[in-house]
Amino acid sequence: MASEEAIARRDVLKSGAGLGVCVFAAAPVFAALAALAQENHMSTKTTASDDKSQPEAAAPGGAKPASVTPGTGKPGEFDFLAGEWKIKHRRLKTPGPSAATKEWDEFEGEATCFTILAGVGSVEELRIPSRGFSGMGLRLLDVENKVWNDFWVNAKSGVLTTPGQTGGFENGVGTFGADDMDGDKPIKVKGVWDQITPNSCRWWQAVSWDDGKTWEQNWVMEWMRVK
């Protein structure tokens, strides 16, 4: 019997909900999208082992983070997120190489973020009132290896999903990735923070079915600072 976590991952890919999210989610937002899709009764085609009656099943626990090698991360790199935000979401309804069309679902949300542990951590409370959805992103710096880890908590379960995405920032762009499975097929997922300014930023998620040769974006968030 497939685990709830594996079911959530597959539902993300089949319904177009993923991402998640968010490489993360492995991806934290991959998990968020799975929960969001389930809570809004989005139609999917599932295998016999898929159980769509468990909306709390948003933890992609079978995912494995991308290989962790020492990085260049340092405290404070997520400080740009601290504050209140309005977010415009665009989510691909039917992702995957076999999808006949690329139709996007658009909706609005909001977030409150703050820095903890003198920059070693960052907390994000993500809210999508129109969908009755909320969750928490937790970014923590592995100080020894200088690598960031990105985790997700669905408000309905209160459970931290592990492992998260791993990565870091280079030239003002933060890239975080993990390896996962779509049924019996290995995939790669990634989440990227870019276009970072004092009052705006963008996050997008993508999936690769060919070991990173090509990528398909399936969720884009445009962040605008409120305060």
CATH number at residue 134: 2.40.128.20
- Which residues, in sequence order, are bridge partners of residue 169? 174
For residue 11, what pLDDT is reported?
Answer: 35
Pair 72, 168: CB distance under 8 Å: yes
Report the alpha-carbon distance of residue 219 to residue 105 in Å, rounded.
Answer: 9
Is the pLDDT reported for residue 45 higher than 80?
Answer: no
Contact predicate 178/63, CB 8 Å: yes
37-51, 74-88, 107-121: range with lowest mean pLDDT: 37-51
Q: What pLDDT is attached to residue 101?
A: 78
Say whether pLDDT at 34 is over 80.
no
Higher per-residue confidence, 100 vs 210? 210
Parent domain of 21 = 4-225
Query: How many domains is the chain partitioned into structurally?
Result: 1
Percent of the chain with pLDDT over 70: 70
Which range is least confidently modeled, 11-20, 71-80, 159-168, 199-208? 11-20
H or E segment at 156? none
Phi, psi of 218 (to 5 degrees): -130, -5
Q: Rounded to whole angstroms, how far apart are CA atoms 222 and 147?
A: 25
pLDDT at 80: 98
